[in-house]
Amino acid sequence: MDRAPRLRTPRTYLGAAAGLAVAANYVPATVTLGQWGSLRVLPGDLCRWRGPDVSRVAITFDDGPNRHTTPRVLDCLDQLGLRATFFCVGSLVERDGDVVGEIARRGHQVETHGHRHQHHLFHSPRWIVNDLRRATRVMSECGFPSSWYRPSYGQATGATLVAASALGLRPVLWSSWGREWTTNDPDDVARRISGRLDPGAIILLHDNDELGSPDMWRVGLSALPRLAAELERRELQAVTLDELVYGGRL
């Protein structure tokens, strides 16, 4: 016996719409794992992992500033003749804002790492918008308006990408990282970075350990001379993120 077609109720449609909304929010979190592949950038600068295929790389530092550790990293960069980009956590900028000025005075680029260093996968779109708004406000008040944004833990939901775009921020992740929190050996860090040290690479290190493992910044610091030697061997120059992506002075 034929069955009568089952009618879809408004609740059915609402449930389906909610499911699509959840999927739209979390699918990009998978997309942003592009550091494992060969993607350089998504259309419209929706997310970037690498710069152009040029003889330059961008060394980037996350999780600062810290008045005790960041200056030590800056001293080492000065000694090695390397320029870098620092992604700063807004709540730490509120505490150590003078360090942000020192970063810029030494010729490096300053950008935002959000206000609170938390997983976006665990937060609502409203929380994400408010966090990014506060982060950009703090950086502007410090005198360094942000144009690039690196989400905490490299996680970006659909809400992350929408909020960043609305605030004029370009999300950027990385193509090579040291994972300093997993080892006490700077040679391990240098080897990991060197394994994906291609032209246009964006390298991830950390200048602070408050949000990670104790002394991880020291391991990365000790790896910098090894990284500098490898860059020289490969005839690659370390520049700021803007200089890598858009060209400019060396």
Contacts of 148 (CB under 8 A, 6+ apart): 85, 87, 111, 112, 169, 170, 171, 172, 241
- Say how far apart CA 208 and CA 217 lie, in whole Å: 5
- Catalytic annotation on 62? yes
Determine the Cα–Cα distance for residues 209 and 233; give it in Å rounded to an integer: 30
Q: Which of 113, 115, 120, 206 is catalytic?
A: 206
Give dist(CA 91, CA 84) in Å, integer.
21
The backbone torsions φ and ψ at residue 234, rounded to the nearest 5 degrees and listed phi first, read: -90, 0
Angle at 24 between CA 21 and CA 30, to 5 degrees: 145
115 is catalytic: no
| 108 burial via Cβ count (<10 Å: 0-12, 13-18, 19+) | buried
- Six token digits for residue 1: 């016996």
How far is the C-alpha of 78 from the C-alpha of 107, rounded, in Å?
A: 9
In contact, 63 and 57? CB cutoff 8 Å: no
Q: Is the peptide bond before 28 cis (omega within 30 degrees of 0)?
A: no
The single residue of 62, 63, 96, 131 carrying the catalytic annotation is: 62
Integer Cα distance of 110 and 143 in angstroms: 10
Catalytic residues, by residue number, are 62, 206
